[in-house]
Amino acid sequence: MKVRLGAVLASGALVLASACGTDDNSGLPGAVDFSLDGLRCGPSGTLLASGSSAQANAMEVWVNTYQANCEDSQINYKATGSGAGVQEFLQGTTAFAGSDSLLTEAEIAESRGVCRDGGQAMHLPMVAGPIAVGFNLPGIDHLNLDARTLARIFDSRIDNWNDPAIAELNPDADLPDLPITPFHRSDGSGTTDNFTSYLHASAPEDWPHEGDKSWKGRGGQSADGSSGLVGMVQQNEGAIAYFELSFAHQNSVSTVRVDTGASEPVEATVENSSNAIAEAEVIGEGGDLALQLDYATREEGVYPIVLVTYEIACDRGNAPGTLGLTRAFLTYTASEEGQRALGEIDYAPISEDIIQQVRQRVDAMA
């Protein structure tokens, strides 16, 4: 069954929702095949979830595929941003949350008041991908930058595109005498958290600020959501910003190749970010699957600025009315079919050894 996305939206069958001011999810192809033989449906009902806007396009595919094959189920995912999604989960109003950042110890402790029977929130890494650095520089399609230079640009300490530090990294480029306008997220964002964690890990002297969902750098201008940042880059010559690769590709925005110290600068691609995810280590305890990324990697072909989106759910003590549908939907997203769909829309599937553990944890949810 080949379903045209516009028709789905018009019919009201699509219940993936974005809050006002957050990232849109309109970048999918005009016709997407949502049919899937053998998808095992859970019980009928409605499932509420919210959070990460970075995974909005992935959720759009997953939600539509699940609903096209399980007609008695409705999945409502609101792309409100990681912070808002976690807050709603901890208030007990959603079955799970999407977050691009790990929960704090305080948030895990708070989750014990929501998860019954001694349960608590767990991290289920479900989707990953590169954070691209997009730019608008007349006459320049290819640009190399390293962590130190990126840190100084986004901290407003390099303010012109013909700066010697940029010229040294791009000896063959005719860099214009043009002010740099760095843009950052105005809303609390897991994308910001991962981007600034990369800067701090790779260039701590140039980016002294710890990684955080809220922007800590000096100066610059802000916009709401990744779609807002893309719009600012498109509209302003000399602009630079960070957003998920899918947003760059959807809007034909040029992206930076990152000089990590490897023999060649590394392009933001699904394959190169998958190499970074494969190097991640599980640091969660007691079955929790929180990951630690190596932002300062110098390995060949490994793109260092990546994020992992976790589905945050109770390991046990889930609400009885939503447990079966939650488990069924997350079983599909973690399946071979669910993960395979990610590469077609600029996301990176979770590595096989880790996604196998995710499947086990979802199956054990109670």
CATH for 163: 3.40.190.10
| 303 found inside a domain | no
Least-confidence region, from 215-224, 233-242, 339-348, 349-358: 339-348
H-run or E-run covering 6 = helix 5-11
The reported pTM is 0.83
| 351 found inside a domain | yes
Mean residue pLDDT of the chain comes to: 89
Task: Give yes or no: residues 19 and 72 share one domain.
Answer: yes
Give the SS3 label for residue 357.
helix
Cα first-last separation, the chain? 34
Task: Give yes or no: residues 57 and 69 share one domain.
Answer: yes
Instruction: Please write the tens of the pLDDT for every residue from 312-343.
Output: 999 999 999 999 999 999 999 999 999 999 98
101 phi, psi to nearest 5 deg: -130, 150
Q: What pLDDT score does 31 carry?
A: 45
Inform me whether the pLDDT recorded for 277 exceeds 80: yes
Burial of 26 (0-12, 13-18, 19+ CB in 10 A): middle
| 243 found inside a domain | yes
Task: Give yes or no: residues 136 and 123 share one domain.
Answer: no
Task: Give yes or no: residues 136 and 270 share one domain.
Answer: yes
Task: Give yes or no: residues 102 and 165 share one domain.
Answer: no
| 145 found inside a domain | yes
Task: For residue 281, name the pLDDT band (cuts at 50, 70, 90).
Answer: very high
Task: Give yes or no: residues 145 and 105 share one domain.
Answer: no
| 108 found inside a domain | yes
Inform me whether the pLDDT recorded for 23 exceeds 50: no
Inform me whether the pLDDT recorded for 356 exceeds 80: yes
Q: Which of 233, 249, 275 is the last residue of a domain?
A: 275
Task: Give yes or no: residues 62 and 120 share one domain.
Answer: yes
Is 85:52 a contact under the CB 8 Å cutoff? yes
What's the mean pLDDT in 269-290? 92
> Distance (Å, rounded) from C-alpha 265 to C-alpha 83?
33
Which one has a higher pLDDT value, 213 or 230? 230
> Distance (Å, rounded) from C-alpha 255 to C-alpha 250?
12
Task: For residue 226, name the pLDDT band (cuts at 50, 70, 90).
Answer: confident
8-state DSSP, 138: T
Residue span of the structural domain in which 229 resides: 131-275
> Distance (Å, rounded) from C-alpha 197 to C-alpha 24?
25
Instruction: Please write the tens of the pLDDT for every residue from 146-181.
Output: 999 999 999 999 999 999 999 999 999 999 999 999
> Distance (Å, rounded) from C-alpha 239 to C-alpha 42?
47
Task: Give yes or no: residues 143 and 121 share one domain.
Answer: no
Domain count, the chain: 2
What's the mean pLDDT in 255-263? 97
Which one has a higher pLDDT value, 10 or 88? 88
**Beta-carbon neighbour count of residue 113 at 10 Å?**
11
Instruction: Please write the tens of the pLDDT for every residue from 92-143.
Output: 999 999 999 999 999 999 999 999 999 999 999 999 989 999 999 999 999 9
Please choose, from the candidates 238, 259, 253, the residue with its C-alpha nearest in 3D space to the C-alpha of residue 158. Answer: 238
Percent of the chain with pLDDT over 90: 80
Q: Measure Cα distances from 68 to 5, 61, 219, 329 in Å.
A: 12, 10, 47, 13
Task: Give yes or no: residues 316 and 241 share one domain.
Answer: no
Task: Give yes or no: residues 61 and 140 share one domain.
Answer: no
Q: What pLDDT score does 33 carry?
A: 65
Task: Give yes or no: residues 151 and 263 share one domain.
Answer: yes
Task: Give yes or no: residues 113 and 155 share one domain.
Answer: no
| 301 found inside a domain | no
| 218 found inside a domain | yes
| 297 found inside a domain | no
